[in-house]
């Protein structure tokens, strides 16, 4: 059973300081923000963390050495550190040239056009072909390209060397599966240098058939249901539902509404994630008695 706390946009030094409270609240894992270098170190906009220029560790959230220190300390509390890995796309050049890779992007990727997907924007999210072959507003990486695969494998293994015990694969739904002609996920997951307790991919608004296919290679982070509840990571709210202008379906919920929904959800799902709301006093809700008591609940069968 996994009770995960998502501390998005929280510096690693602060996560380390909060470990005693995280443990007391009944969480056994913490998901931290992407740590890949971004195209603009000066901006504090939350979305910039999802515009990486490559696979090197270290940005405003923290350095490689700070991640190492966090993992060492988290182990004392029996808490797994999960890193959000951006593996589907890179930073773009500008708002106007949004499907063109930024000039700071890894030079080996830039000089190999085959490292990228077709420069076409998804306009039909019900089309599985478009979702996996076109771009979602940023330059999409070609998951079948061996250069791309090797760079991602090297990054994940570097995280493992530091002590990371889990990965969230951002935008996993946009990466095709073996039954669709793409060997990305089996190659990536089977190339890790040691067993990792928790790996999950973001697959939102998906039916059971698609969830079951992704679940062959990882757990599935989703807002959908599944026949096999152990195969998914379930959530009430995430950064997109709270912060996104387009997807913000929970931004008008009170913090009490979110926690009440979470308290009900943990009755039925063995793997859940609680998002600490950013940039407001609501952020402290994860420290409430309501959330602590929810994490003590046993699963109803």
Question: Does 260 qualify as catalytic in the annotation?
Answer: no
Show Cβ contacts of residue 112 under 8 Å, excluding neighbours closer than 6 positions: 145, 147
Please tell me the distance from the alpha carbon of residue 136 to that of residue 115, in angstroms, as a whole number: 16
From the list 60, 9, 45, 5, the residue with the least C-alpha distance to 27 is: 5
The total of other beta-carbon atoms located within 10 Å of residue 298's CB is: 9
Instruction: Give me the catalytic one of 9, 66, 84, 202.
Output: 202
**Coil/strand/helix, residue 182:** coil
CA 31, chain centre distance (Å): 8
Question: Does 246 qualify as catalytic in the annotation?
Answer: no
Q: At what angle do helices 12-24 and 64-76 cross, to 10 degrees?
A: 10
Question: Residue 74 burial by CB count (10 A; 0-12/13-18/19+): exposed, middle or buried?
Answer: buried
Instruction: Give me the catalytic one of 84, 170, 237, 240.
Output: 170
Pairing status of strand 52-57 against strand 36-38: antiparallel
From the list 118, 106, 108, 169, the residue with the least C-alpha distance to 142 is: 118
What positions carry a catalytic annotation? 170, 202
């Amino acid at each position: 059973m996994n009770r995960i706390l998502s501390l998005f946009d929280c510096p690693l030094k602060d996560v380390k300081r909060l470990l005693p409270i995280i443990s007391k609240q009944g969480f056994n894992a913490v998901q931290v923000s992407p740590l890949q270098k971004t195209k603009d170190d000066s901006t504090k906009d939350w979305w910039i963390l999802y515009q990486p220029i490559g696979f090197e560790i270290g940005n405003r959230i923290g350095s490689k050495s700070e991640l190492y220190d966090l993992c060492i300390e988290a182990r004392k509390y029996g808490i797994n550190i999960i890193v959000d890995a951006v593996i589907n796309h890179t930073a773009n050049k500008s708002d106007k040239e949004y499907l063109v890779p930024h000039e700071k992007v890894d030079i080996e990727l830039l000089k190999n056009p085959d490292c990228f997907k077709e420069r076409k924007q998804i306009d039909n999210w019900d089309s599985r072909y478009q979702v996996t072959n076109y771009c979602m507003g940023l330059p999409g990486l070609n998951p079948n390209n061996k250069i791309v695969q090797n760079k991602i494998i090297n990054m994940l293994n570097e995280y493992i060397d530091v002590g990371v015990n889990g990965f969230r694969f951002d935008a996993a739904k946009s990466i095709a599966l073996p039954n669709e002609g793409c060997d990305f996920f089996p190659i990536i997951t089977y190339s890790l240098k040691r067993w990792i307790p928790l790996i999950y991919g973001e697959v939102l608004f998906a039916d059971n058939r698609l969830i079951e296919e992704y679940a062959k290679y990882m757990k599935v982070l989703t807002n959908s249901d599944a026949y096999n509840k152990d195969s998914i990571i379930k959530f009430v709210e995430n950064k997109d539902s709270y912060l996104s202008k387009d997807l913000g379906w929970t931004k008008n919920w009170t913090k009490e509404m979110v926690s009440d929904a979470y308290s009900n959800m943990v009755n039925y799902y063995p793997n859940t994630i609680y998002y600490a709301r950013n940039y407001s006093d609501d952020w402290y809700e994860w420290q409430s008695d309501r959330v602590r008591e929810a994490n003590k609940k046993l699963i109803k069968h």
